[in-house]
Amino acid sequence: MIVNFTPVTPVVVVDNLQVSAINRGRETVLVSDIRFSVNKGEVLALIGESGSGKTTIAMALMGYARHGCQITDGRITVAGQDVRAMTPSALRQFRGNKIAYIAQSAASSFNPGIKIMDQVIEPVVIHHLMSRADAKAKAIDLFRELALPSPETIGDRYPHQVSGGQLQRLMTAMALMGDPQVIILDEPTTALDVTTQVEVLKAFRRVVTQRGMTAIYVSHDLAVVAQMADQIMVLQQGKIVEHGATSELLHHAREPYTHQLMNAAQHQSRPSSWNRHNDDVQPLLEVRDLAVGYGPRNPEGIPKIRIVEAINLQLWRGQAIGIIGESGSGKTTLAHAIAGLNPAWCGHLLFDDHYISNDLAARRPKEMQQIQYVFQMADTALNPAHTIRDILSRPLKHFHQLQGAALDKEILDLLALVKLPTSLLHRKPASLSGGQKQRVNLARALAARPDLIICDEVTSALDTVVAAAILDLIAELRRKLHLSVLFISHDMHAIRAVCDDIIVMKQGRVMTQIATEDYNKPSSHLYFERLKRAVPELRQGWLDEHQETLKAELYN
């Protein structure tokens, strides 16, 4: 018997890819010797820490390199077309038609002044692939396929009128409008809370599976990748460290760097070393019946939009409390209210056994010095025009009137405290890595010599290896400086790594508070159990199990 065998032609083939930065005739190689192929219906994950070349490789598949960079060597074939041989006009038709891109931040990718529907259908309308009416009908079908609420009318909203998870799925609909053969997902769930992340992951996988699409998934989170990818390529400093089937790599990884990524993805909680001192009669911070809102107020002084209400908590000296909840639960609003950045309309704040104003502008200098805020995005928190020395000098001069040799010594001590080299002193933030910028962000807060630091999603924009190092640093600073920490996050691993207690928020209210050491014990609070179950585990099949558990709960 003669069996006809038709060899499978890969949809994506990359051979000896090299991308370089070109500056005044000097070439710096960013990624080199990259080789892989992906078949129809397969998902390849590119994983590694910031600067490893993941996004650079993914962008090269579309024939694109960042400003100042060039694809300097190699062959790239996507959907049977030689990408490097295409003219600019051909590339414009190619992008969105044969290959589509889903960015990390949907919020910054949508135009806030244009309705969602107009933006979703724009790629196919401007390329004359279909009429506006047909494009709208197709978009609504995609909204329904991606399990978006009110698919017929959600396109009439503006981007700020939908949640982060919904906006991420709407960007997916935009990418699918041209029926591409290849889709690139670039860190699409990094900024989402755990429950939203799970729903978005399910939507991504359902679309990729049902449509038989080929996908490139860029991520730094191995636990997420384990749910999506058929094969994983581990990258470091622009080179391939390890590449293989997902099951093989998760269970039999050979390289130390791959094991480092796996350990970072499973960052373990540490036993709490905090004990309340007998002489601490009063908590360092006490929040009493706090309520925060926005917009015009009625005659009773109640704002039109109420975000958090009836918040009560106590934070003792040297203690770390984590506040966790889904996007929109009021975590950051509460943190801003405690810092005085968004004054509460009701309730009281006591700090160090005395009342402090809800409004930062009315607080005394010492009260401002005692509570310091570490913002989520170091990129926007640090002045890009100032050197690191200037940034660290300002709080030292303002709060402690240091100058001359005393100022120089304190700056060097701060750099040593956050484990940064002195060579960074005269550089500006743009020349630092994400982890280095976040350490400077932390050092600036510590320069005031505070009693309490409020850390607001300080690891959400960092890769797992760098984030683990920042979490270790915060835990070490607590011990050294006897700091109190209020840690805001949607990352349960981060909360457990740093905090003694966990406060769970939902829809502006505190649902429950538990000791971190009791995390693995069954809780009577269903919402907290739901959050715990939504944390991805580093094993294949977890997402399917999570889906089955939810179905069982729904029918019981």
pLDDT in tens, 495-537: 988 999 999 999 899 999 999 888 888 877 888 888 888 888 8
User: What letter does residue 8 receive in the DSSP assignment?
Assistant: P
Residue 432 belongs to a domain with what CATH number? 3.40.50.300
CB environment 446-462: b (16+ within 10 A), e (fewer): bbbbbbbbbbbbbbbbb
Tell whether 450 and 398 lie within a shared domain.
Answer: yes
In a domain, 277, yes or no: no
Instruction: Tell me the two tokens of residue 376.
Output: 């989520």
What is the C-alpha separation between 105 and 133, in angstroms, rounded? Answer: 28
Please say whether the beta carbons of 324 and 504 come within 8 A. Answer: yes
- For 498-524, give one letter per residue: b (16+ CB within 10 A) or e: bbbbbbbbbebebbebeebeeeeeebe
Query: What is the predicted pLDDT for the residue at 255?
Result: 93
**In sequence order, what are the residues at sequence separation of 6 or more whose Cβ sits closer than 8 angstroms to the Cβ of residue 106?**
159, 164, 167, 168, 170, 171
Helices (H), 382-517: 388-400, 404-417, 434-447, 464-481, 492-498
Together in a domain, 149 and 53: yes
User: Is 391 exposed, middle or buried, given 0-12, 13-18 or 19+ CB atoms closer than 10 A?
Assistant: buried
Asked whether residue 205 falls in the same domain as residue 342, the answer is no
Q: pLDDT tens string for the chain (556 positions)? A: 455 555 568 999 999 999 998 887 788 899 999 999 999 999 999 998 877 889 899 999 999 998 888 999 999 999 999 999 999 999 988 987 899 998 877 777 899 999 999 999 998 998 888 999 999 999 999 999 888 889 999 999 998 888 777 888 899 899 999 889 999 998 888 767 788 788 888 888 888 888 889 999 998 888 888 999 999 999 999 999 999 999 999 999 999 999 888 887 766 556 566 676 656 778 999 999 999 988 787 887 788 778 889 999 999 999 999 999 887 788 988 999 999 998 888 999 999 989 999 999 999 999 999 999 998 888 888 999 999 999 999 999 999 999 999 999 999 999 999 989 998 999 999 888 778 888 999 999 999 999 999 999 888 777 788 888 888 889 888 888 889 999 998 888 889 889 999 999 998 999 999 998 888 888 778 888 888 888 888 888 888 887 777 666 655 5
Asked if the structure places residue 1 within a domain, the reply is: no
> Residue 56's closest CA among 41, 37, 76, 38?
76
Alpha carbon 419 to its chain's center = 23
- CA nearest 213: which of 180, 186, 252, 168? 180
Domain check: are 22 and 158 in the same one?
A: yes
| 549 part of a folded domain | no
- Strands of 81-82's sheet in order across: 26-38, 12-23, 69-78, 81-82
pTM for the predicted model, two decimal places: 0.80
Query: Other CB atoms closer than 10 Å to residue 476's CB: what's the count?
Result: 13
The residue among 153, 201, 204, 152 whose CA lies nearest residue 175 is 204
| Mean pLDDT, the chain, integer | 88
The rounded Cα 544 to chain-centroid distance in angstroms is 23
Is 275 a member of any domain? Answer: no
Residues 321 and 223 in one domain: no
Same domain assignment for residues 430 and 299: yes
Query: Would residue 402 count as lying in a domain?
Result: yes
Instruction: Give, in order, the Cα–Cα distances in Å from 80 to each of 9, 13, 14, 45, 98.
Output: 9, 9, 12, 21, 10
- Residue 301 and residue 217 share a domain: no
Tokens read off for 537: 């585990």
Same domain, 261 and 293: no
The reply to whether 85 and 140 lie within a common domain is yes
How many of the other CB atoms lie within 10 Å of CB of 106? 24
CA distance readout (Å), 390 to 117, 358, 373, 374, 394: 46, 30, 18, 17, 6
Asked if 472 contacts 267 with a C-beta cutoff of 8 angstroms, the reply is no
Establish if 555 belongs to a structural domain.
no
**What per-residue confidence (pLDDT) applies to 334?**
94
Shared domain check, 379 and 520: yes
SS3 163: coil
Tokens of 75: 């062959």
CB atoms within 10 A of CB 328: 17
Whether residues 95 and 238 fall in one domain: yes
Residue 540's pLDDT is 87
- If phi over 0 gives left and psi between -120 and 50 gives alpha, with beta otherwise, what is residue 59? alpha
Task: Name the residue range of residue 480's domain.
Answer: 285-537
CA 101 vs. chain centroid, Å, equals 18
Whether 352 and 237 share a structural domain: no
DSSP code of 457?
Answer: S
In a domain, 22, yes or no: yes
Q: How far apart (Å, rounded) are the C-alpha atoms in residues 485 and 452?
A: 6
Quick check: is 122 in a domain? yes
How many separate domains does the chain show?
A: 2
545 vs 391: CA distance, rounded Å: 48
Tens-digit pLDDT profile for residues 130-167 = 999 999 999 999 999 888 889 999 999 998 888 777 88
For the stretch 403-457, pLDDT in tens is 999 999 999 999 999 989 998 999 999 888 778 888 999 999 999 999 999 999 8
